[in-house]
Structure 1
Amino acid sequence: MRRLLVLGGGTAGTMVVNRLRRALPRSEWEITVVDRDDDHRYQPGYLFLPFGTYTPDQVTRKRHTFIADGVDLVLAEVERVDADTNEVLLTDGRSLGYDYLVIATGTVPRPDQTPGMLGSQWRRSIFDFYSYDGAVALATALRSFDHGRLVVHVTEMPVKCPVAPLEFTFLADAWLRDRGLRDRVELVFVTPLSGAFTQPIASDQLGAMLEERKILLEPDFMVERIDDVQKLLVSYDEREVPFDLLVTVPLNMGSEVVARSGLGDELNYVPVDKHTLQSTAHDNVFAIGDASDIPASKAGSVAHFSVEVFVDNFLQLVHGRPMTGSFDGHANCFVETGDGKGLLIDFNYDTQPLPGRYPLPVVGPLSLLKETRANHLGKLAFRWVYWNVLLPGRPLPLPALMSMAGKVVPAEGSPTQGSPTPSREED
């Protein structure tokens, strides 16, 4: 009996075990997935919790209900991976052996990594929405915030869903306007990037949208510490940004399990081949979703598209054939812009977000890099798709690899190429 072990029962891990359980004979393969608890969170929904669009019960389901029959779900904490002996050690003393290991342990916000972030104002005037508890706490804080300086801040790239901080800013602007409070609140977007986003075309458009909404942009801001007494963000070049309410995106890091196992880089992400997701250190280890170091957005769409490539490659590998699939970094993200509208961006390792129509030329029905009601509805509809199509591993009629069909390439001489998600060296 051959053994496939998956660490992490989130988006990527669940899709992998469900797809491979259907593809691998039960008489020959034992499939196990490990996670610490039985609560599966719909993380894109965290964005909507502070504004009351979603309720907590709408973003939480029981993990075991999405795991296919024939997959063993182990609820336990992982101590470490011993890749030399093909063994995973659990904190309760048990060990799990494997022939192939898939690391899908995700990424988590680490407010402890920025001095002052976890100080006296944490969850009082400093909040995050990248965690379930943070988003719920922020919902309460927003209800009592009626004037002052609201600062939305990104600590450092890469972060999970890099458009989410901008989405929160646009939604906050619309939410305040709906309540007649916008003129009493100064909105500021603080980022380590040189502009609103990571590539020229999208950055110019999103930056113009910030300006149109009278949202101040503070670029190239590398935070050194937070002064929680004076309520100041302080950068390494000694700039100061005051706040009354700070909505911050802490440094994102991979799992401590990866660090304890000696399998990660300085941010606890597993180095892999960016096309096959195979570990650069161990041939029988893969990292998928947010757990890997690939230079793509840490987003659910990347997990979905990369899992499709991974599954086909894995089946080739275990049957003794070369892996022929090559993931291109495809990401596809709705960007909420407030007032019942949204943008859609579609890009990969080599091509930045471009305008056009998606998924079909001319007919769309969705528009790229254009605010539309349809894009907003697509964002809301994705929650149903997530629970009922993606997690169970059912096919979605979208190509895993990015297509140029329907995209409008700028005139010659305009920048069109480049990694849409910069590496840490570029940040």
Structure 2
Amino acid sequence: MKKQYDVIVVGSGGAGMIAAITAKKLGFDVLLLEKLSSLGAKLKATGGGKCNLTNTLSKDDFMNSFGRNGKFMMKAINMLDKNDLREFFSSIGVQTDTKDGFRIFPVTHNSSTIISALQKELERLEIDILCDCKVDRLLCDNEKITGVQTQKGNFEAPHIIIATGGLGFPMLGANGDGYEFAKELGHKVTDLYPAMLPVYVKETWVANCTADTIAKAIVRIDLKKAKKLKAVGDLIFTSKGLRGPVILDFSREITPLLEKYDEVPLLINMVKGKSEDEIFQHLKKQGTLKPDVNVVELLSTLLPVSVSKELCLQVKANLDKKFKDQDGQIRNDLVKIVANTPFTVTDSVGFKKAMITRGGVSLKEIDPNTMQSKIVEGLYFCGEVMDLDGPCGGYNLQWSFSSGYLAGHLNK
């Protein structure tokens, strides 16, 4: 294998592979390095193995979903948006669909389809690929990139694209080496936290509700400094905690607080935002329409039976009595706990199963028009290694592909 290239791409996730393909199509001589024995390991796990590529949001709505840093991706998204991405995959033999009108998947709903197609395109373009090759450090001279030092020798190139991902799923190769490369060359890396992951809670009753999903649950953090934070989406109970899209999205706000407070109190409205008064009026009306049902059966007009029973037990309601026959304080407590069900997050699954990393290389030190470092000439970043993460639903993978595509242009 040669020792000199125009560009070396470090990491073979979605961002790295599309960066290598883009650079090669523009006439650059490319080397793709991967420390594992095969390409796209983490990509294989994306979207539960179904590979949610992107979604149907407009460009503005898509960027706004990333919060205040969303505008950083404007040039990348304008160069490769959802339609461009679908056309690209169609050109390499992958058709896509959107059965729910929002999330876009390969029609096979299998991430192996995406990995296989990208690998075939890399091979068709005759891009040099070296697996089982860990990069130890980046080589730099007078603030200009000159190459990489690896366990298989040094390789020279005036352009290096870092596409190493974050810290999530270490069994799939994530170890944060991209952050270390950046710091060694003078870049700031913000605090790193696991995101898009389930959480554990103190409340043991959740184990009795694992068969049910709560639609459009509203989750808030019950801490003074986090009162304004909230998320809406489907909630799923696990044997030891909470998951589902709403928790996966909101976990990026929870994990930094866990580090600070050890426990994070949540309040969850599981009745589509109904207020205490609306809940009381609903129960009163249903009690009139169904005068013979007990309190659990009545509450199950709002919530699954399993959850209704557990909430009744939490306020010490008599399960055999009707709602109107309960003690007045118990009726009030039941309405309150339905409107704002308390949970106490005690831990998360951590980076071991975190789909995304919150934090990364500071965006202030990266040119959004090229993805090139503002500190080191010839150094580029793309994908999760940067301080930019979005919710679940195809956001992060679209960003990986778009940023990789832009980085692959190398200012050309």
Q: TM-score, normalised by structure 2?
A: 0.41
More strand by share: 1
Give the TM-score of the pair, scaled to structure 1: 0.40
Q: Which has the larger radius of gyration?
A: 2
Q: Which has the higher helix share?
A: 2
